[in-house]
Amino acid sequence: MTRIAAWVALALAVTFLSWSGRALWQTWHDSDATAFARERDLVLRTGTREVAMLNSIDWTRPDEGLRRWRDASTGPLRDRLQRESATSRQKILRARTSAVANVDDAAVTSLDVRTGTAQLIAAVRIRLTPQGGRTTVQRKRYEAGLTRTSSGWRLKSLTVLPVSAR
């Protein structure tokens, strides 16, 4: 009886290993899964870069910064940035403060490759340096909506997320 149990156990182990190996091989060679992972990584890289860009400005070159903001955006966000461009320029020049943003952490929370839409959350650190003043740091969290355009993924929305006061 012990030999039969050993043979059965061996047969089950071989069957399980064969099934596991085949499933792993399929995962590694699944072009749909690979394509989705590449697109997710592209959304993460692009969204991270664009969130940082929309939080950065050199007050001595506001037109260049505002152009980069528009280039990183699409749809309603781009329309709003375009519409408020003159007012934003005046505020930037009046404040005489430069901002350099870095995304400390980000994650894609949803991605629909078929419709070309994605959501991203990001933790951002912004270094604010007023002319002749001391640099301060702000930390913000954002949710960003992205849309795939003919020129790549662009931000269609950018919303500040409240930080809980725990």
β-partners of residue 146 are 118, 155
Query: What is the CATH code of the structural domain delimited by 44-161?
Result: 3.10.450.230
DSSP annotation of 165 reads -
Express each pLDDT in 47-92 by its tens digit: 999 999 999 999 999 999 999 999 999 999 999 999 999 999 999 9
pLDDT value for 24: 65
Please give the sequence-ordered ranges of beta strands (E in DSSP) within 31-151, or none if there are none. Answer: 97-112, 117-130, 136-149
For residues 17 and 14, what is the distance between their CA atoms, to the nearest angstrom?
5
- List the chain domain ranges: 44-161
β-partners of residue 107 are 121
| SS3 state of residue 115 | coil
Q: Is the dihedral of CA 148, 150, 153, 155 positive or negative?
A: negative
Express each pLDDT in 111-139 by its tens digit: 999 999 999 999 999 999 999 999 999 99
